[in-house]
Amino acid sequence: MGMSNPAVSRLSQTWEKLPSKFKKFYAEFESMMDPSRNHRAYRLTVTKLEPPIIPFMPLLLKDMTFTHEGNKTLIDNMVNFEKMRIIANTIRQVRHCRSQPFNPEICQPNKNHAEVRGYVRKLCVVDNQRALTQLSYRLEPRRT
């Protein structure tokens, strides 16, 4: 998701250097994450996957928020079971995603696990948009 961040997407010289197979992979991923029709492509893809799955939590939180905000909890002093059913389905999706333990040996048997773990442990996440933009312009200054 970070690849579509404006600070990253503006790096045209960097994008040009990417091998075409990575550009194609990114385009496929982008189409899967297309928000049209309530993220239909993503939702269909996830239904075909076997757990464990890392769900796109912002979408699940959006579903829960719209369900909660858009539906009354009580109707005529009675519990709105349709609202509760929809919320329960969203929670079931999360539970399904984590219904199996993660086993890295099954997923990527040829990867150097120590190297990957070391990289992830040292990973520095920059979540400040202003800082990201400054880094972006340092890498590729504006063309004049």
- Residue 64, token pair as written in the block: 């829960």
Q: At what angle do helices 81-97 and 57-70 cross, to 10 degrees?
A: 170
- Residue 109, token pair as written in the block: 């048997």
Q: Which residues in 51-92 belong to E strands, given as ranges? A: 74-75, 78-79
What is the C-alpha to C-alpha distance for residues 8 and 138, in angstroms, rounded to an integer?
A: 12
Q: pLDDT tens digits for the chain (144 residues)?
A: 788 999 999 999 999 999 999 999 999 999 999 999 999 999 999 999 999 999 999 999 999 999 999 999 999 999 999 999 999 999 999 999 999 998 877 766 556 777 887 888 999 989 999 999 999 999 999 987
Distances (CA, A) of 24 to 28, 29, 30, 31, 116: 6, 9, 10, 11, 24
